[in-house]
Amino acid sequence: KTAMQIVEIMKVMEARHPVVMATRVSAEKSAEIQAALPQATYFEMARICAIQPSVPLAIRPGKLSVLTAGTADLPVAEEAAVTAELCGFQVTRLWDVGVAGIHRLLSNRHVIDQSDVLIVAAGMEGALPSVVAGLADCPVVAVPTSVGYGASFNGLAPLLTMLNSCATGIG
């Protein structure tokens, strides 16, 4: 969509909903959108342009945590985290805790134990969601990313790993 198409959609939605989001928005488009809608906020890492209510939404119950295997997974994970926050959830972020440095994940075990839902983004071979689901007693949302080198096949390898996981509670 063009920036002006997004502006028109956001105007219509703003009249009906307290939170309006446009995802996968470039910095250039966000500048055009914010020129037309100064109340819009741009979340650069998440690539989200959003209109938020002047009074924050009530905090929703539950603890949601978003984890990434590596720093290359950050844009996808941050998109999930910002979306959840805009919907009123408290979010804990745990970045760069992949299986290549499993000690980083294990030293943050308390985050897993205190969460009601975990969103886990991983590229490369996509092993992190299975490891996390093996440690967690809550639902794990596995999110494959298209980053990585070698044989990740633009996200196909992590997707297949996540689909074939034998850990319970993973989706």
The residue ranges of every structural domain in the chain are 3-51, 64-164
pLDDT confidence of residue 30: 96
Query: If you write DSSP's letter for every residue of 27-61 in order, what string do you get?
Result: HHHHHHHHHH-TTEEEETTTTEEEE--SSPPPPPS
Q: What is the mean pLDDT of each run of 10 residues along the chain (171 residues)?
A: 96 94 96 96 96 86 94 94 95 93 94 96 89 94 82 78 83 86
> What is the predicted pLDDT for the residue at 149?
66
**In sequence order, which residues have a C-beta less than 8 Å from that of residue 35 and are 6 or more positions away?**
none
CA-to-CA separations, 162 to 1, 7, 10, 149, 169, in angstroms, rounded: 31, 36, 34, 18, 12
* Sheet architecture: strand order including 40-43: 20-22, 48-51, 40-43
pTM confidence score: 0.89
Q: Looking at the domain 64-164, which fold is it?
A: Rossmann fold (3.40.50)
